[in-house]
Structure 1
Amino acid sequence: MKLGLLLLALIFSPSLQAALHEENVDYQAGDTTLKGYLVWDDAKGDKQPGVLVVHEWWGLNDYARQRARMLAELGYTALAVDMYGDGKSSEHASDAAGFMNSVVEHAGLATQRFLAAKTLLEQQPGVDAGKIAAIGYCFGGATVLNMARMGVDLAAVASFHGNLVTKTPAEPGKVKAQILVLNGADDGFVTAESITNFEREMTLAGAKYRFVNYPGAVHGFTNPDADRLGKANHLPIAYNAEADKQSWAAMLALFDGVFKQ
């Protein structure tokens, strides 16, 4: 495990003794084979809520898997989703941009792949199919927000440093999920205008949402590898331990609320 991911596990893990069951899973969306990562705690006897974890634009990498493991340690069944197909990932921005554009430039493709993952998670014997949430980082954050906008049946979505701009704003009464947006106040990729427009959109749609800005945090603030990746790719991204800790706690508070209703 990379040093940054090990640090993440040590900071956030409530127990290093959890009986985690980890499984690489293949599933289909159209003609594309997707390769996800499913993890849960074998020691939990009852059906558990399920959480979909949607990766950054880098693809389904160790960081997304580690977040899934962290959720499993807390009693959730987590599926780290493959949005690109064949488990593709890269640490090069040019590759990541190509992977991302291959999805977002094709209408309906992101939805098809997200729903395929959601169906897979709901079908797991240890999952309560009526209690499904989704979280996402960067590209994944924008993805889960768009799923909420479309009215996908989710209890909650949490977007970490995700893009807020959309060509298909939520319609009044359509949003089912409670929405949590966790944003770096100094994120150069998220403009003040996009925040204003997002909040107006959510209000007009009648959505239950919360928007949180973390002072001093920039894009990628939850990922311990952001500094290294930013330097290698000349990108203004960086890790912020305090914002990471606070945003994770905010997500857990949201889950406690929606899943215990």
Structure 2
Amino acid sequence: MKKIISILCFFVGYALANNGFVTYEVDGVKYEGYYSSPSKDAPLVFMVHDWDGLTDYEVKRAKMLFDLGYATFAVDLFGKGVRPTETAEKKKLTGELYQNRAKMKRLLYAGLNEAKKLNANVSNAVGIGYCFGGAGILELARSGADLKSFIPFHGGLATPEGEDYSKTKGSIVVFHGSADKSVSIQDFANLTMELEKAGIHHEMITYSGAPHAFSVFGSKRYHKVADESSWKRFTEILETTLKK
């Protein structure tokens, strides 16, 4: 009994010590990610936030993954304390990174490196992103990042001029709303053809009636069926892709 209690205390202690916000620097600027891990060597989900920065939404998703036995590192692409609330500021911050893909990649890889410093299991990991973060996770895929899968939820799907998927190492799974007015179904179709041509294993899933940002809890755009269906498929992919 004492041994069982000791083991339980170890895991509880580990979880408490490995959950919370993490400050790190990139090019002299401070950024603040979020890391949670239920146990040593837990499979990792590398997460990229929406255009309003790393907020309670990403933390809630990380807690959902924690309960399923997965670690999460949510990267910060805007800077510590930069959490825009006005549309103009959101467009400005995301626009700067869309125009400077090299910086976007530096920040993404800085997040991966920080996760590694925290002893996250980066060799047994997938990447996900929401909206703007979906575009970011596909940027990471095209750069040749060594993740097992890249999964955008209602993300930007267009490929920038001069880029392709020739370096992509993992599979790609896209969750898209058929009623999305921000990311066209033509972008969805174009990406499908790109991935097929490049020989990248992929799943391309659309949900009827689902708008852009369909997974954002409590918002006017929230679409229960699309959110729950995509999350269910996502967790199935985690089970078959990552080693526990």
| TM-score category (smaller protein) | 0.7 to 0.9
Matched, 1:185 2:168: no
Q: Contact 1:50/1:121 (CA < 8 Å) preserved in 2?
A: no
CA–CA distance in structure 1, aligned partners of residues 155 and 54 of structure 2: 16
Q: How does 1:104-253 map to 2 (within 5 A)?
A: 104-125=98-119, 127-167=120-160, 168-172=162-166, 174-227=167-220, 238-253=221-236
Aligned amino acid, residue 41 of structure 2: K
User: Normalised by the size of structure 1, how large is the TM-score?
Assistant: 0.82
CA–CA distance in structure 2, aligned partners of residues 205 and 214 of structure 1: 25
Tell me the secondary structure at the aligned position of residue 229 of structure 2. Answer: helix
The residue number in structure 1 matching 2:239 is 256
Matched, 1:95 2:77: no
Of structures 1 and 2, the larger Rg is shown by 2
Tell me the secondary structure at the aligned position of residue 86 of structure 1. Answer: coil
The CA RMSD measured in Å over matched residues stands at 1.8
CA–CA distance in structure 2, aligned partners of residues 108 and 87 of structure 1: 22
CA–CA distance in structure 2, aligned partners of residues 23 and 67 of structure 1: 13
CA–CA distance in structure 2, aligned partners of residues 185 and 157 of structure 1: 20
CA–CA distance in structure 1, aligned partners of residues 57 and 165 of structure 2: 33
The residue number in structure 1 matching 2:33 is 36
Superposed displacement of residue 192, structure 1: 2.7
Tell me the secondary structure at the aligned position of residue 210 of structure 1. Answer: strand
Q: Contact 1:123/1:129 (CA < 8 Å) preserved in 2?
A: no
Aligned amino acid, residue 170 of structure 1: D
Aligned amino acid, residue 247 of structure 1: S
Off by >4 Å, runs of 4+ in structure 1: none
Aligned amino acid, residue 145 of structure 1: L
How many residues align? The count is 229
Query: How much identity, in percent, do the aligned residues show?
Result: 30
Aligned pair in 2 of structure 1 residues 135, 171: CA closer, same or farther (>3 Å)? closer
| Unaligned 5+ runs, structure 2 | 1-14
User: Normalised by the size of structure 2, how large is the TM-score?
Assistant: 0.88
CA-to-aligned-CA distance 1:149-176 (integer Å, 9 cap, x gap): 221111111100001112144243x211
The residue number in structure 2 matching 1:16 is none
CA–CA distance in structure 1, aligned partners of residues 21 and 185 of structure 2: 40
**Aligned partner (choices 59, 65, 68) of residue 62 of structure 2:** 68
Superposed displacement of residue 33, structure 1: 1.2
Aligned pair in 2 of structure 1 residues 83, 157: CA closer, same or farther (>3 Å)? same
CA–CA distance in structure 2, aligned partners of residues 170 and 74 of structure 1: 34
Q: Contact 1:36/1:87 (CA < 8 Å) preserved in 2?
A: no
The residue number in structure 1 matching 2:21 is 24
